[in-house]
Amino acid sequence: MSERALRGTRLVVTSYETDRGIDLAPRQAVEYACQNGHRFEMPFSVEAEIPQEWECKTCGAPALLVDGDGPEEKKLKPARTHWDMLMERRTRDELEEVLAERLAVLRSGAMNLAVHPRESGSSRKKSA
């Protein structure tokens, strides 16, 4: 019985509605041109904000709006180096004090270097 119920219909979603009596949103055609000489139009709603740049349909390169101002220059943050981040946390006097302490420890030879038991050759077990 269920096989007969499906006979004559497709399992794909199909709309049986028509476009009669439907008012589409007002549209405008906007023209773009890419650096390779391709020109194409894109439909946008009249109310939509028009982007200055769009991907070219033919080659995929960035295409600019014809009769447009061009894309806005983005403000780039200056690159922060390790030194810049260190100077945000400490003053130069504090850094000189820490450096003097570390140099004193190095020069005195009083650094406590712990040797891991596995690194010493006497405690290693040899496998057969």
What is the reported pLDDT for 84? 93
If you average pLDDT over every residue of the chain, what do you get?
81
63 is in an annotated binding site: no
Q: Which fold has domain 27-65?
A: Rubrerythrin, domain 2 (2.20.28)
Q: Is 67 annotated as a binding residue?
A: no
Could you tell me what percent of the chain has a pLDDT over 90?
41
Q: What is the pLDDT of residues 15-73, one digit of tens each?
A: 777 778 888 889 999 999 999 999 999 999 999 999 989 999 889 899 999 887 656 67
Most confident of 7-21, 66-80, 112-126: 66-80
pLDDT at 46: 92
**Closest by Cα among 32, 73, 76 to 56:** 32
What 3-state DSSP class applies to 112?
coil
> Does residue 34 have a known ligand-binding role?
yes
CA distance 53 to 33: 9
Parse the chain into domains and list their residue ranges: 27-65, 80-111
